[in-house]
Amino acid sequence: MRRREFITLVGGAAAWPLAARAQQPSKLPTIGLLVPGTPASHGQWFGVLVQRLRELGWIEGRTVTLEVRWAEGHVKGLAEIATEFVRLKVDVIVTSGTPAVVQAMQATSVIPIVSAVMGDPVASGLVASLARPGGNITGLSVLAPDLGGKRLELLREVVPGLRRLAFLGHVSNPIVVQEMGEVQAAAHTLGLDVVTLEIRGPEDIMPAFEALKSRAQALYIAGDPLVLTNRARINTLVLAARLPAVYGQREYVEPGGLMSYGPNFPELFRRVGDYVDKILRGAKPGDLPVEQPTKFDLIINLTTARALGLEVPPSLLARADEVIE
């Protein structure tokens, strides 16, 4: 399913009046899609999920009902949507990101919750263990302690004289705080000084960049729903500051970011479809092991590198999964 088709589908579903929904066959199982961001930021990923469900026989309006809600990067919105899904008595809640899972967990300990992305679900208290989650939550963990260090090493290959690094992250997200600690430790090992730019809402983005000024030679941007939803603004500010930046997802690089290294998100959402299929067929989420990514992508925007006057080593280009020109 193409991204535009999915946005049309879920946009229409989100706008249906409750009376219209009530006219649908009550026997159909209902999936609540708790989307942390917007159609522009998360639509294509959830579209992959919907396509995978169709492949498995779960077709909207025929074998399953989809309830789609967009939180647009707001934690308060996540809580409200989770509460609504409990009231609607959906059969499973599907979401992405630790903050969304936390809000869903606070709303229900009974309805299965499946997440395409979680940081460290064990340390966050979401599951008892990866092998045996034990409760009503399962899905995929993107926990990879060495990812921060790997991204810094890649950044240093493009900026060989790097000494001063800025870290931008949404510090209300505990997983971002954990990532910040990992990046700071890796930076210390590499002899880099780190400036932290903490944001808690969209209104903090511009002041963060104003405070940055010329204090760093490069930027590490920790992705989460708030940052992803505002990636166009952030990319514009990064390019205006003429800073090479490394990200965790391809979606930042396509519109002008320099490079990204991280899990293949479409693949994560596709795998979530398999979890949902098993649960709708009777499996308990607590018996389904939390899995981890198997595919990591290195994406480089060569056009941005040239605009910044950077020379990307041929050896790095050869290792890239995709080069954008």
Same domain, 85 and 126: yes
Residues with Cβ within 8 Å of 9's Cβ and at least 6 positions away in sequence, in order, are 1, 50, 60, 66
Same domain, 319 and 300: yes
Are 166 and 194 in contact by the 8 Å Cβ rule? The answer is yes
Same domain, 24 and 75: yes
Per-residue pLDDT of 39-69, as tens digits, reads: 988 999 999 999 999 999 999 999 999 999 9
Sign of the alpha-carbon torsion through 196, 200, 205, 207: negative
One-letter identity of residue 17: P
Same domain, 215 and 250: yes
pLDDT at 17: 38
Mean pLDDT value across residues 132-145:
88
Per-residue pLDDT of 82-98, as tens digits, reads: 999 999 999 999 999 98
Confidence at 22, pLDDT banded by 50, 70, 90: very low
Q: Measured between alpha carbons, how far is 80 from 38 in angstroms, rounded to an integer?
A: 16
Q: Measured between alpha carbons, how far is 245 from 168 in angstroms, rounded to an integer?
A: 10
Q: How far, rounded to the nearest angstrom, does the alpha carbon of residue 172 sit from its chain's CA centroid?
A: 15
Same domain, 85 and 184: no
Same domain, 42 and 122: yes
CATH code of 49's domain: 3.40.50.2300
Per-residue pLDDT of 184-204, as tens digits, reads: 999 999 999 999 999 999 999
Same domain, 158 and 139: no
Same domain, 76 and 160: no
Same domain, 308 and 161: yes
Same domain, 94 and 219: no
Same domain, 36 and 98: yes
pLDDT at 164: 96
Domain count, the chain: 2
pLDDT at 1: 38
The pairing of beta strand 137-141 with beta strand 245-247? unpaired
DSSP string, 210-224: HHHTTS-SEEEE---
Per-residue pLDDT of 201-217, as tens digits, reads: 999 999 999 998 889 99
pLDDT at 20: 37
The pairing of beta strand 113-118 with beta strand 137-141? parallel
* Number of helices (H), then strands (E), in the chain: 14, 12
Same domain, 151 and 195: yes
pLDDT at 151 over 70: yes
- Which range marks the domain in which residue 57 is found? 3-143+264-287
